[in-house]
Amino acid sequence: MAGRQKRPLGELFGLNNFGVNLTHLAPGAVSALRHAHSRQDEFVYILQGHPTLHTDEGRTPLAPGDCAGFAAGSGNGHRLVNETAQEVVYLEVGDRTAGDAASYPDDDLQAVQIDGQWRFTRKDGTPYG
């Protein structure tokens, strides 16, 4: 994603069961396509800036000290969007449960994790390219 920088932190300590990233979003950048995981929980904690959380319920402004969590299997598509002129910095934490799948409610895209690798297809299962 353009304007997004992720710095993996968990790997520095040999963590394998969950990931921790320090993520920066430039003005106008997004964290990801809006998505939901079938088997992996996600959590974000805002350190700097004022991103907008986009979910199935709508848009929620966030500020430093705010957090949000997304339970596996909830089906609630989510992402952060930096709609401001200042950089946004946050921690993202997610578990690494095998066999995950991701749905993308706004895009003709789905993803399935097979043997630790993500396979992306259209919603009807046809491959890209």
Q: Where are the domains of the chain?
A: 4-98
Q: What is the tens place of the pLDDT at every residue in 17-59?
A: 999 999 999 999 999 999 999 999 999 999 999 999 999 999 9
Count how many residues are written for the chain: 129
Instruction: Indicate the pLDDT class of residue 128, thresholds 50, 70 and 90.
Output: confident
Amino acid in position 64: P
Instruction: Indicate the pLDDT class of residue 116, thresholds 50, 70 and 90.
Output: confident
| CATH, domain range 4-98 | 2.60.120.10
What's the confidence (pLDDT) of residue 1? 84
Q: What is the tens place of the pLDDT at every residue in 60-111?
A: 999 999 999 999 999 999 999 999 999 999 999 999 999 999 999 999 999 9
Q: Where are any strands of DSSP class E within 9-115?
A: 18-25, 36-37, 42-48, 52-55, 58-61, 67-70, 79-81, 88-95, 101-103, 110-114
